[in-house]
Structure 1
Amino acid sequence: MAGEHLDEDLHKNLSAFLNSSPDCILVCDASSLQYLYVNQTTCDMTGYSRDELLSMTAPELTQQAPAAVRETYGRARQAGLVGYTDEPRLMVNKGRSRRGWWEAHFRYQELDGRGVIVIVSREVTRRVLAERAADRTKRIYAALSATNEAIIRSSSREELFQAVCDAAIDSGGMTTAAILMPRPGSDLMEMKAMAGYGREVLMETVISIKPDRPEGRGLNGTAFRTCKPAVSNDYFKDRRTGPWHQQMRSRTLLKAVASVPILLNGKAIGTLHLCSREKNAFDEEIVGLLVRMAENIAFALQSFEREQVRREAEDRAHYLATHCSLTGLPNRNLLTDLLDQAIASVNRTGHNPALMFVDLDNFKQINDTWGHDAGDRVLEQMAGRLRCVLREHDVLARLGGDEFVVLVQNIDRREHAQRVAEKLLAAAQDPVQVDGQPLVVTLSIGASLYPHHGENQRALMKAADLAMYQAKDNGRNTWALAGQDSHWNSE
């Protein structure tokens, strides 16, 4: 008798037990998909009355296609006594005032020959959001790692910027990533690199850094001015983003936006602009990671600047080591290298090089009479004149003092050398004007020709130097060929 009384009490209170459950409990006909039973928690959570729910089918309540519901129920039947747990699903109540993630467990039962599905569904919104936040953080860590790798591999600002944007999309899970910087001489920002969705829209978007313009009070302008991140986790409800709402309405993937300043020496030079398809995508931890990403970009830019300074210093040192500081012409070191190269390429090109030593007559007298500054002006002007009468591929060098050397890349006969020498002599015919004072300068030129006067640069330079002194002995303002041998005189 006591056991029968206990069974009667259990059956009597079963409904109360089910209604007190924090989970939604439903029983659905496996064939018609009509609900046969719902507990009070289901009514409370969905906003529907019991009568309304019992008049509804599962596709109507869950907003799923009937085929999808039947597929889920089929899996539950195959699972037997274990049942089947579906992936969490976002649900909205009747008045659309409440939404959350629910995870349902389905189990197939036979009741009086009738197949039914017993559904126990519980809210897992906190768990889903925590998992999504953890996943976002994991992706941003991956993007940060990819950015660091890009810093190592990139050789220019442009390459780095694009690699960072690609990492934010490919590894970080963002929908749009861009790096914006102020346009020179303007308050408007322009896109330096971009990856992801909406390139055309972003390129047409007006973004300013001035606070007195509506387009300057948005996230990018604010981040740039304040040197602090600016975040909107619900883009279309944020007043700061108002100027772009209409333009961005078609971008259904845009839910949340973050703009992080890129700081160089404490001053903003641009912003890292990121968009997400999820609201509330940018929590404090993720924003902190994005700040680190921007800091790494700045570090790479500083490294690029240091490398640029180093290269410029190296180039400058090389230039000073190979060029005359007064005239900018190649010096003896560079001339020697170029002459060696010309000799080495004779068999390949068939072009025989020639050297012409050019000395300014009576230059010491100009220095002594008018001073070294006047002498320097004379050297500069004569360098310009001589360069103008030579071919582009010929080389004019200055050895020092008043000595210039011309490397002519192709001389086949004496007449060719004579024409070049006469052009050089003619370049000095007109007086050189220094501070309004005409100074008469003439030239003495000595020429040596490969291979007749030497088969290496040392021999050719010595022969040309001796020929130049021969020209001076011949009365100056003239030229002489090394050796004046019979071969060249017969040409």
Structure 2
Amino acid sequence: MAKDGFGKDPERDFRELLDSSPDCVLVTDYDTHRYLYVNHTSCVMTGYGLQELLSMHVSELTLQSEAEIRETYERARQAGERGYTEEPQLLLSKDRSRRGWWESNLRFKVIGGQEVIVIVSREVTPRILAERAASRATKIYAALSSANEAIIHSSSSEELFQAVCDAAIESGGMTTAAMLMPAPGSDLMELQAMAGKGRDTMEVAVISTDPQRPEGRGLIGKAFRTGKPSITDDYLQDTRTTHWHTLVRDRTQIRSAASVPIIRHGRSVGALYLCSRERRAFDEEIIGLLVRMAGNLSFALQNFEHEEKRREAEERAHYLATHCGLTGLPNRNLLTDLLGQAIASVGRTGHRPAIMFIDLDRFKEINDAWGHDTGDGVLQKTSGRLREVLREHDVLARLGGDEFVVLVQNIDHQDHAVRVAEKLLAASKEPVVVEGQPFTVTLSIGISLYPEHGIHPTDLMKAADLAMYVAKDKGKATWALSGEGRPQAIQ
């Protein structure tokens, strides 16, 4: 054995050296694009035999066009000794059992007077997958950030759900994003918001939470039931999604999908559903980020609920401060505000308001004889009947006890106010029935007009109050106009 260099057959030794390389080494003719040499690794990785490869055209293996090959070879020639490195390509073996990403370096050489391209191709699948996973994670981080910003700025769950779906598409790189929640009293999931492709599919797809139904065995139903993410890396081959294969196959390009439950108080209240064109798009890191997103959504829903309760309490407090608890009519505070607004608008509209003070005649007798519960019923029935007589924009208010006030809008003449008073008196002639007992309640009405009897709310209210006592003292069941010393008879 020689001490230096190769043995007695250097060419054979050199071939064995190349065959032992983990990289594919191939030599092609520069002009014909035919393989002149391939090492053993090339045969193993491609699944083709040596003679098969040596009889092949480069385009048959790489699936590139003649024009693409010529352009690549020319770049290698221009690159000189440093060679030209192609972008990684996804290649399949002969029997399609092996699939991976390969990065090739091409160098132009003249060997024995023949122009050739020497190709050293290395599998970079782990690197490409890692880069893609990192890219996906970066996009989901961006989507998470956008979702968190939406939580801050959204004023409703509907607005938030749509913002999250939009973020998953625009920042997260997803193909489809949807938010679903169960319909009240049903096992069916309803679409709350969506972005991306497949809207026509999502709108007609039946999705259930019931595992006994085929519609409930998919990713969304399982995630909702278990409270854990549900994932598929091959949607159209997954038996859990069989029910939707026909619907999805011709309409979308789903490769992988995931559903993440929205948990509140330890139970599922909804599900975030995402689809991607890429296989294995939902690795452990991505799912972790989506779970964080779902947790933030749950927190936002809790805040919306607290805000809704606070707003309802505030509205209730305002209602109680401005309305009668028994009849639901405006009280003195609200009536004063509305009268002030009516007076302020006179200069703009030319329509004047009138005030009518109403007292229920002999109501105290009913209260004393039949009790407060019956008395309250009479007040409620009477107020409802008076409200029916008035126009929609007139205001009936209760000041307390058996005292009511009507703010009549748009009075152009005194006779208009009188006609309203007569309608109210006519309505009171029919008895109201409370717990099967009829009660006839007549009215005493005092009328004041703007501006004849006052230009301020307090002046008008006082004038109408005094006129009401005139009507009551002069026989009841009638009306009186402010400033008159005797009641006006009903014509």
Give the TM-score category using the shorter length. over 0.9
Q: Distance in 1 between matches of 2:440 and 2:199?
A: 67
Q: Residues 372-424 of structure 1, C-alpha deviation per residue, up to 9 Å, x if partnerless?
A: 11211111111011111111111000111111001011222222221111111
- Which AA in structure 1 matches 2:294? A
Q: Which residue number in structure 1 is paired with residue 474 of structure 2? A: 474
- Which AA in structure 2 matches 1:260? V
SS at match of 2:410: coil
Q: Which residue number in structure 1 is paired with residue 426 of structure 2? A: 426
* CA gap 1:256/1:5 in 2 versus in 1, 3 angstroms: closer
Residue 230 of structure 1, CA deviation: 1.0
* CA gap 1:5/1:200 in 2 versus in 1, 3 angstroms: closer
- Which AA in structure 1 matches 2:40? Q
Q: RMSD of aligned C-alpha atoms?
A: 2.0
Identity of counterpart residues, as a percentage? Answer: 67
* CA gap 1:21/1:407 in 2 versus in 1, 3 angstroms: same
2:253 is the counterpart of 1:261: no
Q: Which residue number in structure 1 is paired with residue 140 of structure 2? A: 140
Indicate the larger mover: 199-208 or 27-36.
199-208
Indicate the larger mover: 340-349 or 159-168.
159-168
Q: Which residue number in structure 1 is paired with residue 179 of structure 2? A: 179
Q: Which residue number in structure 1 is paired with residue 318 of structure 2? A: 318
* CA gap 1:111/1:425 in 2 versus in 1, 3 angstroms: same
Indicate the larger mover: 275-284 or 178-187.
178-187
Provide the aligned length of Structure 1 versus Structure 2.
485
SS at match of 1:280: coil
Q: Distance in 1 between matches of 2:106 and 2:7?
A: 27
Q: Distance in 1 between matches of 2:204 and 2:332?
A: 56
- Which AA in structure 1 matches 2:147? T
* CA gap 1:203/1:252 in 2 versus in 1, 3 angstroms: closer
Indicate the larger mover: 311-320 or 62-71.
62-71
2:332 is the counterpart of 1:332: yes
2:349 is the counterpart of 1:379: no
TM-score normalised over the length of structure 1: 0.95
SS at match of 1:138: helix
Residue 252 of structure 1, CA deviation: 6.0
Residue 237 of structure 1, CA deviation: 2.8
SS at match of 2:208: coil
Q: Which residue number in structure 2 is paired with residue 64 of structure 1? A: 64
Aligned ranges 1:147-186 → 2 under 5 Å: 147-186=147-186
Indicate the larger mover: 234-243 or 294-303.
234-243
Aligned ranges 1:197-346 → 2 under 5 Å: 197-251=197-251, 253-346=253-346
- Which AA in structure 1 matches 2:316? R
Aligned ranges 1:41-52 → 2 under 5 Å: 41-52=41-52
2:461 is the counterpart of 1:435: no
Indicate the larger mover: 271-280 or 2-11.
2-11
- Which AA in structure 1 matches 2:475? G
Q: Residues 182-214 of structure 1, C-alpha deviation per residue, up to 9 Å, x if partnerless?
A: 233332222221111222122222222111122
- Which AA in structure 2 matches 1:49? G
Q: Residues 117-142 of structure 1, C-alpha deviation per residue, up to 9 Å, x if partnerless?
A: 11111011111111111111111111
* CA gap 1:138/1:368 in 2 versus in 1, 3 angstroms: same
Q: Distance in 2 between matches of 1:418 and 1:183?
A: 54
Q: Which residue number in structure 2 is paired with residue 483 of structure 1? A: 483
Q: Distance in 1 between matches of 2:246 and 2:465?
A: 80
2:413 is the counterpart of 1:416: no
Q: Residues 29-59 of structure 1, C-alpha deviation per residue, up to 9 Å, x if partnerless?
A: 1211111111111111111122111111111
TM-score normalised over the length of structure 2: 0.95
Q: Residues 215-241 of structure 1, C-alpha deviation per residue, up to 9 Å, x if partnerless?
A: 212211111111111111122332222
Q: Distance in 1 between matches of 2:140 and 2:356?
A: 67
Indicate the larger mover: 6-15 or 460-469.
6-15
Unaligned runs of 5+ in 2: none
Residue 249 of structure 1, CA deviation: 2.5
Q: Which residue number in structure 2 is paired with residue 404 of structure 1? A: 404
Q: Distance in 1 between matches of 2:36 and 2:416?
A: 111
Q: Residues 234-288 of structure 1, C-alpha deviation per residue, up to 9 Å, x if partnerless?
A: 2233222222223333356211111111112111122111111121221111111
- Which AA in structure 1 matches 2:374? A
